[in-house]
Structure 1
Amino acid sequence: MKKLSLVIMVWMLLLTACSSGGQQGAAGNGNSVASADQSGKESQGSGNAEDEQPIELSFYFPVAVGGPITSFIDKLAADFHQENPSITVKPVYAGSYQDTMTKAATAVQGGNAPDLAVLLSTELYSLLEMDALEELTPRFSEEYFNGFYEAFMSNTKSGDQVWSVPFQRSTIVLYYNKDMFKEAGLDPEKAPANWDELREFASKLTVKDSSGSVSQWGLEIPSTGYQYWMLQALSLQSGSNIVNNNGTEVYFNKPEVKEALQFYTDLGRKDKVMPEGVLEWATVPSDFISGKTAMMFHTTGNLSKVKADATFDFGVAYLPANKSYGSPTGGGNLYVFKDIPEERKAAAVKFIEFLTQPERVAQWSIDTGYVGTTEAAYETELLKSYVAGFPQAAVARDQMKYASSELSTYQNGQVTKLFNDNIQSALLGEMTPEEALEKSQQQADDILKKYRK
């Protein structure tokens, strides 16, 4: 019996040891399943617990300028997935900025918000009114936000709260054809520095054929889509912005704005150095590239397209000054939406961090022509080398010291549409500049009065 008892005790000890070892291998010290899983994640560049389940992010993106923007975004999404295998970013190309905003707003109202989107920085107050946005102040450090140019950050904030991150940002610059400057007897290395020179140069650059028809215009400034943006630039040059800093009040009928719109209309209707009537936003760069106009005002976001397609030597310069230099900022910011699960918010923030690393900001600026949004991007060897070989790429950056926030209000779509319509009416001669601006001010006041405390 003693021998039998001893055998039973040994057997029970062996069973206990095996049971303990099995539990330890499955969930104890990390050997076996747990360590293999962790090792696999580390080899793929991620060991975070949030990455254990696959996450797919919908990313709404507009295409507002020329060039293969979609292919650049597709590559960024693929590169991010390679570094973060459990997160897949699905770009959704929604057309123009306006189309993208409409699509995003419809999705939010239908309870199916995207995870993140690039929308105009000026849509901030409209999105806040919809209660659509995730506040980003606690998601990033103050040091991170301080890395962006101050003028770009102006359109990201309401009070001290940050609601978006600058991404594909721009200013307006002057493009000019150096070959045409030479033919007109102008110094190809000297762009017009002020309004008087702009009018004078444009006159010399406007060419008529034997029948008296204009075969080459001196200047084109778009008058569709973003005519408010062009007028805002001229207003800043005259010494006044057209909006306050909290989206509740506009100053469309100030004397400086009237002076600006009079100059804008005179270029076509009185000075005859620019086509009268409607000049399509998308057509103006094509006219410049094809030689139909010697100069144009346009976004720096078209710089890479002009560089790739122009068959002539061209220059880029600050917008000419009136009382001072000036341009509003423009372009799109990255927004994260509120009504999505926390793990997708965290993944969206991770994607934003990825997109705004200095090397990627530098490459994006080179690929697209948009302004690098951070000073650190211009300190990279990549962008330093590019600017050294293509100095035109530095103009928009250098003009940032004269840049101001873009027109952005509550009910921004309504306000900008009525303003655009009235500006266009003035350009077409249907109203005087003063009538157009007084009407714009009255209409905007009617819309915005409920937002004023």
Structure 2
Amino acid sequence: MDARESRLVTSGARAAPGVSRRNFLLGVGAMGSAAALGLTSCGTPLAGASEQTDVAFWHLLTGPDGQILTTMLQQFMSENPNIAVDQTALEWGAPYYTKLAMASVGGRAPDLAVMHVTRLYGYAPGGLLDTWDLDLLEELGVGADQFPERVWDKGLYSGELKAVNLDMHPFVLYFNTEVAEQIGQLGEDNMLTGIDTPEGFKETARAMAEVTGRHGLAYGFLNDPSNMWRMFYTWYRQMAPAIELPEGGPMVIDKDAALRTLEWIVSLLDDEIASSSNDGGTAIAEFATGDAGMFMGGVWEIASYRDQGLPFSMQMIPALFGDPVAYCDSHSFVLPHQSTPDPEQRRAVHELIAGLLQRSLQWAEAGHIPVYLPVLESDEYAELEPQSNYAEAANYAVYDPEAYFTGSGADFHNYFGENLQGVYTGAVPPERGLQGFIDQINQLLAKPSPL
């Protein structure tokens, strides 16, 4: 979903002490097969129990996320020596999703995979995903009542559970606590005050710009269509219902609300409140160096800002135009289709994801909101700052419109950027950019779905 996940950091597979020669050779054979597909096996060692159920696990999580996941897997295997997990990390984006689809079609699917839940409609309709066993999940302590309703329901397709969400990672507001204190808007709860109206938000940003000497808000969009869409859909959904993309078309969109959204965004990009020409990296650096008092971005930047010693906190983007909205995606667990799945492996996979959900407090370290309620509502999570400051976002989750071409790493965001970047820079009237986007999507909808 973002540049954070595109930095692939892997290490070679290694056998744990005590692993049998047969299991080691099987692991080497698996590495050879993975190499043929361009995959890289991460450093989760195979456990050495004499009778094990092996679980092949594909994901696209690297960097800090990959390290945390590896720790969670190792802890799970140490407590469940009858299950050995062989994790394989692939390059983020189109390469991952293409290989996952090919593996499901070609009979080489792993037992378990991670998928952005917004990609569900590109896989479930074509039979590329199997259904989770609700009874077995319930036996293991995983069910609809242990998740925020919006997040659980997002994993359903045609009434069947196709994805179990591990988290939600929303688009949020970061702010410099020292700058907020200097302008007198740091609340007793360490939250930014005075930003609950459009006028108040702009006044706050201008006051912060006077302190920083540059901008009040750091926001990057240039050549970053996903970030353009994140901001647009956040404000739009405060004003209007979800955009719908029915097969055959046309797009269902409130054009008046969309135009008001675009006009609002352009009004922020005035080179005082925010730069009219920032890309993603420049905006991230602008906030890190104290040249902006606020920053809008994904929760995954939390680790780098903390490592730099930046005085900052985080909260949901304010509801300026209606109900609160947390535009997001979720890392979810899916069962790539297997024609004859092994019952023991399937049970082991269900046990594995239950174990990872129960350990998801660790996952929150990277900024993600753990959506398993026993963790989300725990005292331990409440003590995490600034993560717990935006925990309520789980109740206001808003995802991409549902279509085979939407979701993280798909082309939908690119279509938006191709038509709307000129609007953001002020070179194209909002009406023309919006209509170009609508026309392009309607052309896609008018064609038969490839699924």
1:398 equivalent in structure 2? 392
**Deviation string for 1:119-174 (max 9, x for gaps)?**
21100010124421011254533961221111212321123211101113122221
Structure 1 stretch displaced more, 198-207 or 133-142: 133-142
Q: Is residue 432 from structure 1 mapped to residue 435 from structure 2 by the alignment?
A: no
Max radius of gyration: which structure?
Answer: 1
CA–CA distance in structure 1, aligned partners of residues 79 and 347 of structure 2? 15
**Deviation string for 1:8-37 (max 9, x for gaps)?**
xxxxxxxxxxxxxxxxxxxxxxxxxxxxxx
Q: Is residue 94 from structure 1 mapped to residue 125 from structure 2 by the alignment?
A: no
Q: Give the 5 Å matches for 1:64-143.
A: 68-138=64-134, 139-141=136-138
> For residue 336 of structure 1, what is the amino acid of its counterpart?
L
SS of residue matched to 1:294:
strand
C-alpha deviation, 1:409, in angstroms: 1.6
C-alpha deviation, 1:373, in angstroms: 0.3
Q: Does the CA contact (< 8 Å) of 2:314 and 2:389 recur in 1?
A: yes
2:236 equivalent in structure 1? 235
C-alpha deviation, 1:316, in angstroms: 1.9
1:40 equivalent in structure 2? none
User: Aligned in 2, Cα 1:369/1:246: closer, same or farther, shift over 3 Å?
Assistant: farther
CA–CA distance in structure 2, aligned partners of residues 162 and 298 of structure 1? 30
1:418 corresponds, among 415, 419, 422, to 415
CA–CA distance in structure 2, aligned partners of residues 262 and 164 of structure 1? 37
SS of residue matched to 2:337:
coil
> For residue 175 of structure 2, what is the amino acid of its counterpart?
Y
User: Aligned in 2, Cα 1:400/1:56: closer, same or farther, shift over 3 Å?
Assistant: closer
Higher helix share: 1
C-alpha deviation, 1:97, in angstroms: 4.2
> For residue 260 of structure 2, what is the amino acid of its counterpart?
E
> For residue 317 of structure 1, what is the amino acid of its counterpart?
Q
C-alpha deviation, 1:233, in angstroms: 0.5
C-alpha deviation, 1:254, in angstroms: 2.2
C-alpha deviation, 1:364, in angstroms: 1.8
Q: Is residue 166 from structure 1 mapped to residue 169 from structure 2 by the alignment?
A: no
> For residue 276 of structure 2, what is the amino acid of its counterpart?
E
1:17 equivalent in structure 2? none
Q: Does the CA contact (< 8 Å) of 1:220 and 1:279 recur in 2?
A: no
- How many correspondences in the alignment? 384
2:216 equivalent in structure 1? 218
Q: Is residue 149 from structure 1 mapped to residue 142 from structure 2 by the alignment?
A: no
CA–CA distance in structure 2, aligned partners of residues 432 and 80 of structure 1? 54
CA–CA distance in structure 2, aligned partners of residues 150 and 239 of structure 1? 20
2:352 equivalent in structure 1? 351
Q: Is residue 199 from structure 1 mapped to residue 202 from structure 2 by the alignment?
A: yes
1:46 equivalent in structure 2? none
Q: Does the CA contact (< 8 Å) of 1:59 and 1:117 recur in 2?
A: yes
CA–CA distance in structure 2, aligned partners of residues 283 and 115 of structure 1? 40
CA–CA distance in structure 1, aligned partners of residues 263 and 316 of structure 2? 21
| Gaps in structure 1 of 5+ consecutive residues | 1-50, 209-213
| Gaps in structure 2 of 5+ consecutive residues | 1-49
SS of residue matched to 1:437:
helix
User: Aligned in 2, Cα 1:109/1:291: closer, same or farther, shift over 3 Å?
Assistant: farther
CA–CA distance in structure 2, aligned partners of residues 95 and 194 of structure 1? 41
SS of residue matched to 2:411:
helix
C-alpha deviation, 1:406, in angstroms: 3.3
Q: Give the 5 Å matches for 1:210-359.
A: 216-223=214-221, 224=224, 225-243=226-244, 250-252=251-253, 254-268=255-269, 270=270, 272-280=272-280, 283-312=282-311, 314-324=312-322, 325-339=324-338, 341-342=341-342, 343-357=344-358
C-alpha deviation, 1:437, in angstroms: 1.6
C-alpha deviation, 1:207, in angstroms: 4.8
User: Aligned in 2, Cα 1:56/1:182: closer, same or farther, shift over 3 Å?
Assistant: closer
SS of residue matched to 2:333:
strand
User: Aligned in 2, Cα 1:418/1:349: closer, same or farther, shift over 3 Å?
Assistant: same
Q: Does the CA contact (< 8 Å) of 2:54 and 2:83 recur in 1?
A: yes
**Deviation string for 1:174-194 (max 9, x for gaps)?**
1111212344x3422233223
User: Aligned in 2, Cα 1:246/1:107: closer, same or farther, shift over 3 Å?
Assistant: same
CA–CA distance in structure 2, aligned partners of residues 362 and 161 of structure 1? 27
> For residue 264 of structure 2, what is the amino acid of its counterpart?
F
Q: Is residue 409 from structure 1 mapped to residue 409 from structure 2 by the alignment?
A: no
* Superposed CA RMSD: 3.0
C-alpha deviation, 1:297, in angstroms: 1.3
Superposition TM-score, scaled by structure 2 size: 0.76
Q: Does the CA contact (< 8 Å) of 1:278 and 1:424 recur in 2?
A: no
CA–CA distance in structure 2, aligned partners of residues 252 and 315 of structure 1? 34
> For residue 277 of structure 2, what is the amino acid of its counterpart?
G
**Deviation string for 1:354-380 (max 9, x for gaps)?**
1112xx122321x21211202211343
Q: Does the CA contact (< 8 Å) of 1:135 and 1:162 recur in 2?
A: yes
